[in-house]
Amino acid sequence: MADESSPGKARLIADIMGAQKRLQDLIAEDRADPLFSSHLTLSQLKILMLLARHGSVSGSELAGMLGIGAATLTGMIDRLVVQDLVARAEDPHDRRVRRIALTRAGRDLIGSIFNAGEARMRTLLSRLSAEELDLIAQATTLIIKAAESSEA
């Protein structure tokens, strides 16, 4: 691993982190972001994100993922069902189990939240020259490699 203790490297890391934060702030200023127009609580958003990642899950599995009780989850799911964002269905292998999954509206909403800022970023990138884009592509590849090597 490269030496992280040099003052020059530490300053560059701080500069990059500051620039990244500034870019996030600029993109987040767009109030057309679907997260701002939704009326989801943080807990409801977590449920939608987990269902987007894991697909159809049982109520007990979802409660375990969230670290809450089944009774608490039931009320939260009821409210999402009323908003047509999730649906309950009988498990085909065990009629006692109710599975919870995103509806089409739920998938559309969480997809738009996940992809928020993508169009804005595409517009920003289109303002750069081919040489500048090549530099960003190289830097992004290096960051991905560093992330992948830290996972191993």
Structure confidence at residue 11 as a pLDDT band (50, 70, 90): very high
For the chain, percent of residues with pLDDT exceeding 70: 94
The yes-or-no verdict on residue 121 having pLDDT over 90 is no
Count up the domains in the chain and report the number.
3
Tell me the residue range of the domain where 123 lies: 117-152
With 70 as the cut, is the pLDDT of residue 1 above it?
Answer: no
Q: Is the pLDDT of residue 32 over 80?
A: no
Tokens of 130: 């081919």
Amino acid (1-letter code) at residue 8: G
Q: What pLDDT band is residue 5 in, cutting at 50, 70 and 90? A: confident
Shared domain for 139 and 66, answered yes or no, is no
Q: What is the pLDDT of residue 39?
A: 84
Residue 126, pLDDT > 90, answer: yes
Instruction: Please determine, for residue 47, whether its predicted confidence score (pLDDT) is greater than 90.
Output: yes
User: Do 41 and 4 share a structural domain?
Assistant: no
Residues 106, 48: Cα–Cα separation, whole Å: 7
Looking at the structure, do residues 39 and 110 belong to the same domain, yes or no? yes
Together in a domain, 64 and 101 = yes
- The CATH number covering residue 77 comes to 1.10.10.10
Mean pLDDT of 73-101: 92
* 3-state SS class at 40: coil
Q: Looking at the structure, tell me whether residues 108 and 72 fall in a common domain.
A: yes
Confidence band (pLDDT; 50, 70, 90) for 3?
A: low
Neighbours of 48 (CB within 10 A): 22
DSSP H or E segment with residue 57: strand 57-58
Shared domain for 112 and 39, answered yes or no, is: yes
Identify whether residues 43 and 94 lie together within a single domain: yes
